[in-house]
Amino acid sequence: MKIAYFDTIAGIAGDMVMAAFVSAGLPLEELSTELQKLPVDDFELEGSHVQKNGISAVHITVMVTQEQHVHRRLADVYSIVDNSSLTAAVREKSKAIFAVIADAEARVHNTTVDKVHFHEVGAVDSIVDVVGAAVCLEKSGIERVYSSPMRLGSGGFVKTQHGTMPVPTPAALEILRNYPSVLTSIPHELTTPTGAAIIKALSSGVLSEEMLSIERIGYGAGTKEIQETPNLLRLLVADLPDSYDRDDLVIVETNIDDMNPQVYPYLIEKLLAAGAHDAYLVPVIMKKGRPGILLSVMTTKTRLDDAVAVIYGQTSTIGLRLQAVGRRKLPRREVEIQTSFGMLRAKVVVRGGREVVTPEFDECKRIAEERGLPLLEVMKALDHEFGSR
C-alpha cells in the first residue's frame, strides 16, 4: 500500500505540501495543468529550487493576477470545486478539507458552518493550495496519508483579515483538536489552518515504529527563514507492507458471581469513560454450579491502571487476570462531514482498498432527538446519503 508520510519539521502549509510532492518527482507542469481545471481567476504556479540549512528543497508560490480580498462562504467554495473538471476523488478530498476549516471557523466565531465567511482560506491562492494537495495525492497514487505529530509555534503573532492573532491561531488549534501535536517555543506560525486541515481531513494518524519501504523523498520549503529549524516539510512516499493498523493492548478479566446485576450497565459506562477500547459481559457457570458473569475489558497499557481502579471500585471482585495481546485492525479515522442534517461525526473504515463511511450512532441519536424524527429514519437517510458518496 502506497502512503504519504508528512514529517512536519517546521509545520505544514498548503503550498509546502505541493512543493514537497514536486520535490519528490511530480512534474510542476502536470500539477499546474490539473489546477487550471478550476473555474477561478487567472493564476499560475511558480516553482523554484532553494536551500534550507544546506538541504535542497522546492518552494512554490501561487501567483494570482486579478482577485482582491474576496470573501466566500463554504457553499461558494464547494461550487467552485464542483464546477471544475477535476476528478471526483480530488473534488471529494478538497471539499472534505474545506469542511474541516469551516467547522473550526464556526467554533472560533460562535456561528454556524453555513454562515462562516472564509477570508484568507477563501482566496484563490488558498483554494489552489487545498485542491493542489488533493491533486498531488491522486497523481502520486497515494492510498493513505500519515504524519508526524503536528508542530506548532507559540509566543508570536500573525496578521490576518480578522486582525492580529496569537500563534498558534485559534482556527489551527480548533482543527487539530484530538490530533497529536507538539507546542514548540518557536515564535512563528509553523502550521497554518490550511495545512492543519489537510492533515485532519485526510490523515489516518501518526506512524510509530512502522516498517516502511521508502520510494521517494521530497522537501517543501516555507518562505520565512526560521532560526530554530529548517523551514521544511519532509514528504516520504513509501510502501506500508500490509493494510492493517497495529497496536498493543491488555485484556483484563474477572469472574463475578455475587453482585447485583443492576450494577453492570453502570460499570460498562465507567470503563468506557476511563478509556477502555471495549468492555463486555459473558454469562458463565462457575464452581458449584453457580451462575456468574465473565467481565472482559480491553484497554491500552497507558490506561490499564484506570481500568483496574474502576473494576475494584465498582465491583465485588478481589482478583484480576491480565493478558497482553496484539491487535490488527482495519484502518479507520474519524471525520466531520457536511450532510443534509448538518455537520456530523462519522467513521471512515478502509475495506478492500475502498473507504466506507458510517455515521456515529450518537450523532444519529442526537439528530433524531433534536428534530423529533424516528431514529431508524435518520439512520436510513444517512446510510443512503453516505452510500452515494
Instruction: Note the pLDDT tens digit of each residue in 305-344.
Output: 999 999 999 999 999 999 999 888 888 888 888 888 988 8
Domains of the chain, by residue range, sit at: 2-239, 245-329, 332-387
CA separation (Å) from 198 to 111, 256, 293?
A: 22, 48, 46
Q: Is the pLDDT of residue 121 over 60?
A: no
Beta-ladder partners of 254? 295
The span from the CA of 296 to the CA of 259, in Å, is 16
Q: Which of 152-156, 199-203, 293-297 has the lowest mean pLDDT?
A: 152-156
Residue 198: partners with Cβ closer than 8 Å, 6 or more residues away: 12, 14, 17, 97, 130, 133
The span from the CA of 95 to the CA of 74, in Å, is 9
pLDDT digits (tens, 9 = 90+) for 46-97: 999 999 999 999 999 999 877 556 678 899 999 999 999 999 999 999 999 9
Closest Cα to residue 243, out of 202, 204, 192, 271? 204
The span from the CA of 312 to the CA of 26, in Å, is 57
What does DSSP assign to residue 222?
P
Find out whether the peptide bond into 180 is cis, omega within 30 degrees of 0. no
Q: Which tops the pLDDT comparison, 317 or 116? A: 317
Q: Which of 231-245, 317-331, 343-357, 367-381 has the highest mean pLDDT?
A: 367-381
Report pLDDT for 122.
55
Q: Is the pLDDT of residue 262 over 90?
A: yes
* Residue 305 dihedral angles phi and psi, to the nearest 5°: -60, -35
Report residue 109's pLDDT band, with 50, 70 and 90 as the boundaries. confident
Q: Which residue has the cell 482577485?
A: 67
| C-alpha cell belonging to residue 31 | 500539477
Residue pair 129/62 in contact by the 8 Å Cβ criterion: yes
Q: Is the pLDDT of residue 217 over 60?
A: yes
Report pLDDT for 204.
86
Report pLDDT for 387.
72
Q: Is the pLDDT of residue 230 over 90?
A: yes
Q: What is the mean pLDDT of the chain?
A: 90
DSSP 96-127: HHHHHHHHHHHHHHTS-GGGPEESGGGSHHHH
- Residues 215-235: b if buried by 16+ CB within 10 A, e if exposed: eebbbbbbeeebeebbbbbbb
Q: Which of 50-64, 109-123, 131-145 has the lowest mean pLDDT?
A: 109-123
Q: What global pTM score does this model have?
A: 0.65
Helix axes 193-202, 124-139, angle to 10 degrees: 30
The span from the CA of 169 to the CA of 189, in Å, is 8
Q: Is the pLDDT of residue 351 over 90?
A: no
Identify the three-state secondary structure at position 50: strand
| C-alpha cell belonging to residue 332 | 479507520
The span from the CA of 102 to the CA of 109, in Å, is 11
Mean pLDDT along residues 124-139: 95
Q: Is the dihedral of CA 65, 71, 73, 74 positive or negative?
A: positive
Class level of CATH domain 245-329: alpha beta
The span from the CA of 39 to the CA of 41, in Å, is 7
Report residue 254's pLDDT band, with 50, 70 and 90 as the boundaries. very high
Parallel/antiparallel/unpaired status of strands 150-152 and 157-160: unpaired
Mean pLDDT along residues 140-149: 94
Residue spans of alpha helices (H) in the chain = 14-23, 28-35, 74-82, 88-109, 124-139, 170-175, 193-202, 263-273, 304-314, 361-371, 375-387
